A and B are shown apart, each in its own frame.
Chain A
Amino acid sequence: MKAAFRTAAGLAALISTTAQAAEPACFTRAEVNSLIAYALPVVMDPMIASCRPHLASDAYLLSGGQRISEVLAARKDTEWKAAKAAVMRVWGGSKELDMPDNVLQASLNEKVTKELAGKLKASECKDISAIAAKLSPLSPDQLVDLAGEIIVVAVRDRKSKAGAMICQAN
């Protein structure tokens, strides 16, 4: 589970590698959702691959989790545009972001895959699969909304970079 959080944090850190210090701008709820909608399949695919050896063949993550990832991945071009625009607006431009989108996306995928490969323990995979199964009545869009809400609430009132990054009015 920690690895998943590390990956999400790494994804944000990668995009902001050369970004300027935090501007007063912040991510709106819609932008947070776009970032999550793009990032979820990027994280889930290597997570599923990493967990496959630890899980029973009928584990929810390997079937339902894969379906959710596929649904979100099918619209990754739209989500990418919105997510990148949000990052550019809040953190400003950088040399890395000036790369062609396909190169930047491939770089992100590679780094996330490297971060997750073989690092998830069996217990973490079972927890992730169990939580995903309990959330299975939610649609992919509802999952994205819920994840966004959890992030917004988690960072609210925090006197940290993460707290400043998410608009308090969300």
Chain B
Amino acid sequence: MRALALTLSLISLASSQAAMAADAACLAPREATAVASYALPSVIAGTSQRCSPVLGKDAYLTREGMKLSARYGPGKAAAWPAAKAALLKMGGAGDMTDAVRKLPDATVQPLVDGLVTSMVVEQMPTDRCSSIDRALWLLSPLPPENTAELIALSLGLMAQGKNPRIGRIAICKG
């Protein structure tokens, strides 16, 4: 969830105007799911980079992290249109968002991927590496599409709660 929050905060890094929009807007569970599905490979790759030195050579992330990231890669293309729309929504109206909207996907995608990875590498608290390593190992037998659907179900349930949020990003109430 922390990784998802980092991902959803991407646009708010881009400008203060976008940050204000991120506070005001909410993402529907399906929008947040699309962002999560698109960003998962980069999040896993970033987590591997961040945590491998802390966890040591025998850890799951050290041994299999990049392979796991690659396994989730094929789902990115299908998730991208909805993920892009959600990220632009979080950006709110403004010149920066308009500029990003006009850029070709081939330009925006590597930018988003790099930002997600570097944010995880820079901001993931290393005292969580052990738990994340174990959770990813436990979830690794699941096909990527199952993981995406579990995220969607979890966000849908979260949206039924009181004041649903992931970090500073609000999830629209269901």
Binding site for B on A (CB under 8 A): 1, 127, 130-131, 134-135, 137-138, 142, 145-146, 149, 152-153, 156
Contacts and interface: CB of A to CB of B under 8 A. Distances in A.
Given A134-B150, A134-B153, A135-B150, A153 B141 contact: no
B143 A137 contact: yes
Given A149-B131, A149-B134, A138 B150 contact: no
B150 A131 contact: yes
A25 B30 CA distance: 43
B151 to A, nearest CB: 10
Interface residues of B, number: 15
Contacts of A142: 138, 141
Contacts, number: 38
Contacts of B139: 146
Contact of A131 (B131, B134, B135, B153): B153
Contact of A134 (B138, B142, B156, B157): B142
B123 interface: no
B141 A138 contact: yes
User: Chain A: interface secondary structure?
Assistant: helix
24 contacts: A1-B157, A127-B153, A127-B156, A127-B157, A130-B153, A131-B150, A131-B153, A134-B142, A134-B149, A134-B153, A135-B142, A135-B150, A137-B141, A137-B142, A137-B146, A138-B138, A138-B141, A142-B141, A145-B138, A146-B135, A146-B139, A149-B131, A149-B135, A153-B131
A137 B147 CA distance: 11
Given A127-B157, A149-B131, 19 more contacts: A134-B142, A134-B147, A134-B150, A135-B150, A137-B141, A137-B142, A137-B146, A138-B138, A138-B141, A138-B142, A146-B135, A146-B138, A146-B139, A149-B134, A149-B135, A149-B138, A152-B131, A153-B131, A156-B131
Secondary structure dominating the interface of B: helix
A160 to B, nearest CB: 18
A131 to B, nearest CB: 6
Interface in B100-145: 131, 134-135, 138-139, 141-143
A153 B147 CA distance: 19
A153 B131 CA distance: 7
Interface in B156-170: 156-157
Given A130-B153, A131-B150, A131-B153, A153 B135 contact: yes
A107 to B, nearest CB: 31
